[in-house]
Amino acid sequence: MADHQEASVTLPSAPASVPAARAYVTDVLAEWGLGQGGEAADTVRLIVSELATNAVEHTVGQSPTFTVDLRLDHEQRLEIGVTDSHPQWPRWLPLATQQDSGRGMVIVRCLAAESGGEVFVTPTADGGKTVWIALPWTVPVR
């Protein structure tokens, strides 16, 4: 494996882009030899689904596209970022929230915590943001 691998895709902010983002991540993980069927890969796909759904549903027409970035460094740390151009950052609801909707970030935070990872947000130059998840990647690399 190279010291650092990156992949990125930009998709329209439309509901059909959520499964496209998930499929893209599945393909990249397979290309990198990071296992398609394991629990870690399932966690990454669920995280991408939640973040892509947020980028589609919560940008209210202010972000015509969103971008999914994947980075894997030589220390086997996987970073997943979803960028949109909407200025509002995600709301951090309590982990025990019992609402019918709006729990995407709760799910993402829980998945990251269970995997020993972290969640953080960075601003973009155009006034938007990237929601990042950093996970230790313990799946053997081919």
Structural domains of the chain sorted by starting position, each given as residue range(s) with its CATH number in brackets: 14-134 (3.30.565.10)
What pLDDT is recorded for position 74?
A: 73
What pLDDT is recorded for position 2?
A: 56
Stretch 15-37: mean pLDDT: 88
Closest CA to 128 of 54, 74, 78: 54
User: In the predicted model, what is the mean pLDDT of the chain?
Assistant: 85
Note the Cα 11 to chain centre separation in Å: 14
Task: Give the alpha-carbon dihedral of 136, 17, 126, 131, to 10 degrees.
Answer: -20
In terms of Cβ atoms closer than 10 Å to its own Cβ (0-12, 13-18, 19+), residue 16 is exposed
Stretch 73-102: mean pLDDT: 77
What pLDDT is recorded for position 13?
A: 95
**pTM here?**
0.87
Residue 128 has a CB neighbour count (10 Å cut-off) of: 21
Using the structure block, give the residue that is written with the tokens 């589609």.
56
